[in-house]
């Protein structure tokens, strides 16, 4: 599969997300600041996927016909069935004008203390992670994955896998 054969319009300038697309496709996306059309802090998988789709479609619309739109969205989801635990998910939507594809990256458990603050104070996950890690802009770098795994997993790597999952049906002959 030649991922670099396609042209990509990415619906953000976020550094971790741009890096993820570079790693997944081996090419440089056109980056466009578009709206996700959802809340700043998605609190369900459904809303997270919706934000990714909105970004992918808006990016392609702005970039034009020859592009595959990519929307990368991070969000939280609660598992009430097995673990009573919140998870961070990283989703990629890909839209080529005809076909929509969704890739879901690693779901990682998020401490309830973080989610309690998000709900109580109306802040976003990045604010909590910035505070806990003593840095700014954590969502452009390792993110919550980086902090919680002490650098073993980076946000860009999780999104890279989500991008590969979303794009593979466009490129692999197994899906034809």
| Ramachandran region, residue 26 (left: φ > 0; alpha: ψ -120 to 50; beta: rest) | left
Q: Which stretch binds ligand ITT (CB under 6 A): 63-71, 109-117, 136-144, 161-169?
A: 136-144
# binding residues, ligand ITT (CB under 6 A)? 20
Q: In the complex with ligand ITT, which residue's Cβ is closer, 69 or 74?
A: 74
Q: In the complex with ligand ITT, which residue's Cβ is closer, 42 or 68?
A: 42
CB of 143 to ligand ITT, least distance (A): 2
Are β-strands 7-10 and 67-79 bridged in parallel, bridged antiparallel, or unpaired? Answer: parallel
CB of 1 to ligand ITT, least distance (A): 26
| Ramachandran region, residue 121 (left: φ > 0; alpha: ψ -120 to 50; beta: rest) | alpha
In this structure, are residues 142 and 131 in contact, taking their beta carbons and an 8 Å threshold?
no
Task: Kindly state whether residue 50 participates in binding ligand ITT, applying the rule CB under 6 A.
Answer: no
* Residues 71-100 close enough to bind ligand ITT by CB under 6 A: 73-75, 88
Distance CA 154, CA 105 (A): 12
H helix intervals, the chain = 15-25, 45-63, 112-121, 125-133, 143-148, 155-171
Binding interface with ligand ITT (CB under 6 A): 12, 14, 17, 36, 40-41, 73-75, 88, 124-126, 129, 138-139, 143-145, 155
């Amino acid at each position: 599969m030649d991922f670099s054969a396609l042209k990509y319009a990415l619906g953000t300038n976020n550094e971790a997300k741009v890096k993820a697309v570079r790693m997944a496709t081996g090419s440089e996306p056109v980056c466009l600041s578009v709206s996700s059309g959802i809340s700043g802090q998605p609190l369900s998988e459904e809303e997270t996927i919706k934000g990714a789709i909105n970004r992918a479609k808006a990016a392609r619309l702005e970039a034009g016909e020859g592009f595959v739109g990519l929307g990368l969205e991070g969000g939280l989801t609660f598992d009430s069935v097995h673990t009573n635990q919140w998870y961070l998910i990283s989703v990629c939507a890909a839209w080529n004008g005809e076909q929509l594809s969704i890739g879901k990256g690693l779901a990682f458990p998020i401490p309830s203390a973080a989610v309690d603050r998000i709900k109580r104070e109306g802040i976003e996950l990045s604010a909590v992670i910035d505070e806990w890690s003593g840095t700014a802009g954590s969502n452009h770098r390792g993110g919550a994955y980086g902090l919680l795994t002490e650098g073993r997993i980076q946000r860009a790597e999780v999104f890279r896998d989500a991008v590969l999952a979303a794009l593979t049906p466009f490129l692999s002959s197994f899906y034809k």
